[in-house]
Structure 1
Amino acid sequence: MDKPKLWTKNFLIVSTANFFLYFTFYLLMVTITIFATEKFHASPSEAGLASGIFVIGLLIARIFCGRYIDQIGWKKTLYIGFVLFLITTCLYVLVNSMGFLLVVRFLNGAAMGIASTATGTIVAKIIPNKRRGEGTGYYALSLTVAASIGPFLGMFITQHATFYMNFIVCIIFLAFSFIAVFFIKIPKLEFTKEELKKKKGLSLHHFFEVKAIPISIISCIIALGYSSILTFITTYAKEINLVYVSSFFFIVYAVFVLVSRPFTGRWFDEKGENFVMYPAILLLAMALFSLSQTHNGFSLLLAGALLGLGYGTTSSSVQAIAVKVSPKHRIGLATSTNFIFQDLGVGIGPFLLGYFVPLIGYRGLYMMMTVVILVCLFLYYLLHGRTAMCVNEDVKSKSA
Structure 2
Amino acid sequence: MALSIFQMYSYKILIISLATVIIIGYLSAFTLKVSEFHPQTSTAKWNRLTWQDLFEKKVIQSGIVGFLTAFAYASIMSFISVYAETRGIFEYVSLFFIAFAIAMVVVRPFTGKMYDTKGPNSVVYPSFLLYAAGLILLSNMHTVSTLLIAGILIGIGYGSVVPCLQALAIQSAQKHRSGHATSTFFTIFDSGIAIGAFVLGIISANWNYSALYIICGVIIIINIPIYWKIIGRKKNAQYNESICNQQD
TM-score if structure 1 supplies the norm length?
Answer: 0.58
* Distance across 2 between alignment mates of 1:295 and 1:155: 20
- 2:17 pairs with 1:169: yes
Name the counterpart of 2:140.
293
Q: How far apart are 1:370 and its partner, in Å?
A: 1.4
Q: 1:365 aligns with which of 204, 212, 237?
A: 212
Distance 2:60 2:97 in 1: 29
8 Å Cα contact 1:285-1:370 kept in structure 2: yes
Distance 2:212 2:11 in 1: 33
Q: Deviations over 1:161-182 (max 9, x none)?
A: 4644334434443343333322
Question: Where do residues 1-400 of structure 1 align in structure 2 (5 Å cutoff)?
Answer: 152=1, 154-161=2-9, 163-193=11-41, 197=44, 201-400=48-247
- C-alpha separation in 2, matches of 1:225 and 1:379: 15
Per the alignment, residue 69 of structure 1 pairs with none
Q: Percent identity?
A: 33
When the two structures are aligned, how many residues end up with a matched partner?
247
Higher relative contact order at CA 8 Å, sep ≥6: structure 1 or structure 2?
2
Gaps of 5+ in 1: 1-151
Supply the AA of the counterpart residue of 2:180.
Answer: L
Shift, 1:343, TM fit: 0.6
Q: Which amino acid aligns with 2:243?
A: K
Q: Is the 8 A contact 1:199 1:206 kept in 2?
A: no
Q: Which moved more, 1:280-289 or 1:169-178?
A: 169-178
- Cα 1:155–1:291, aligned 2, differ >3 Å: closer, same or farther? closer
Cα distance in 2 between the residues matched to 1:298 and 1:163: 28
Residues of 1 paired with 2:45 and 2:81: CA distance? 48
Q: CA RMSD in A?
A: 2.0
Q: Give the whole-Å Cα distance in 1 for the aligned partners of 2:14 and 2:213.
A: 32
Instruction: State the shift of 1:198 in Å.
Output: 10
> Which amino acid in structure 2 is aligned with residue 344 of structure 1?
S
Secondary structure of 2:73's partner? helix
Which 10-residue stretch deviates more, 235-244 or 196-205? Answer: 196-205
Q: Which residue pairs with 1:108 in the alignment? A: none
Instruction: Give the 3 Å change call, closer, same or farther, for CA 379–399 of structure 1 in structure 2.
Output: same
TM-score (normalizing by structure 2): 0.92
Unaligned segments of structure 2, at least 5 residues = none
Which amino acid in structure 2 is aligned with residue 303 of structure 1? A
- Displacement of 1:314 in angstroms is 1.0
